[in-house]
Amino acid sequence: MEGWIKLYRKLLDSTMYKSLNATQREILLQCLLLANHKPSDWIFQGKLCTCKPGQFKTSIEEIRHRCAKGTTTKQVRSALEKLVMWRFLASQGAKDGTIITILNWDAYQCEGTCEGQTKGQEEGKKRARRGQEEGKKRATNKNVKNDKKDKKYNKSNKDLSALQDLWNLVCGKLSKVLESTDSREKKEIIRLTERPLEEWKRVFSKMAKSDFCTGKNDRGWKADYNWIMENPENSIKVLEGKYDTLTLLDQVAL
């Protein structure tokens, strides 16, 4: 394979790139390197098709084989799903492989002068819209299900960081959030669809004031960030006062 690609430094500042781990960043780079620069013909589902610039036919196993030693099939599949969620690429599955389309390819990889690049950016935007529409039409049932899920979980990394910062600020007596993981981000997104940041501030405040949540119980157990993000029931219990500390007046009344 010959040729080269353009890699812009502003990628380092993008929210998408910052959300990827090292393996996912390598897979992003592999997709850019594997994408066709010129149209090429290939056979797909028994028909002669044309692979457009920015597209390539591959498989999960092929991408895994091209990555660093130790990369797993699960990591490749998870990375592709995340890049689809970020609208970096579109993926169409089939029995004989997977068709990957790099969205906005023309905007960043077109050849020629600045004038040509500007034209390519405009064409890239149009093509991205067409690619998304075609991807929806051709997607399998599994991909359709994932598309619906992606539309529901559309909170930005800025929202997730704000939620973590709010926890660290309000719940100073409890363990702080230091890192983000895919599993944690997924739960944070779901929780933010259930209640806004303003309500989470109230939840965290009640937890910080609760003797039970801060370890003053017969087990010495302390609530943490993962516990409150685990399911919707825990925050409901906190708001309903299940873990509130009883005042002396409350105890006399009992």
pLDDT of residue 124: 64
Show the 3-state SS of 13-43.
Answer: HCHHHHHCCHHHHHHHHHHHHHCCCCCEEEE
Is residue 247 scored above 70 in pLDDT?
A: no
Confidence of residue 232 (pLDDT cuts 50, 70, 90): very high
pLDDT of residue 252: 40
pLDDT of residue 206: 94
Helices and strands: H and E segment counts in the chain: 13, 5
> How far apart are the C-alpha atoms of 124 and 110, rounded to whole Å?
9
CA proximity to 54, closest of 106, 13, 132? 106
Instruction: Provide the whole-model pTM.
Output: 0.43
> How far apart are the C-alpha atoms of 235 and 232, rounded to whole Å?
6
pLDDT tens digits, 91-103: 887 666 788 999 9
Question: Hey, where are the domains in the chain?
Answer: 9-140, 157-253
Higher pLDDT: 155 or 186? It is 186
Residue carrying structure tokens 């929202």: 159
Is residue 107 scored above 90 in pLDDT?
A: no
pLDDT of residue 67: 95
* Phi, psi (deg, nearest 5) at residue 221: -75, 140
Region 192-220 average pLDDT: 92
Is residue 4 scored above 80 in pLDDT?
A: yes
Pairing between β-strand 89-94 and β-strand 97-102 as defined by DSSP bridges: antiparallel
pLDDT of residue 49: 74
Mean pLDDT of all residues in the chain?
82
- What stretch of H or E contains 112? none
3 state SS of 97? strand
pLDDT tens digits, 39-48: 887 666 667 7
User: In what side-by-side order are the strands of the sheet with 55-58?
Assistant: 55-58, 97-102, 89-94
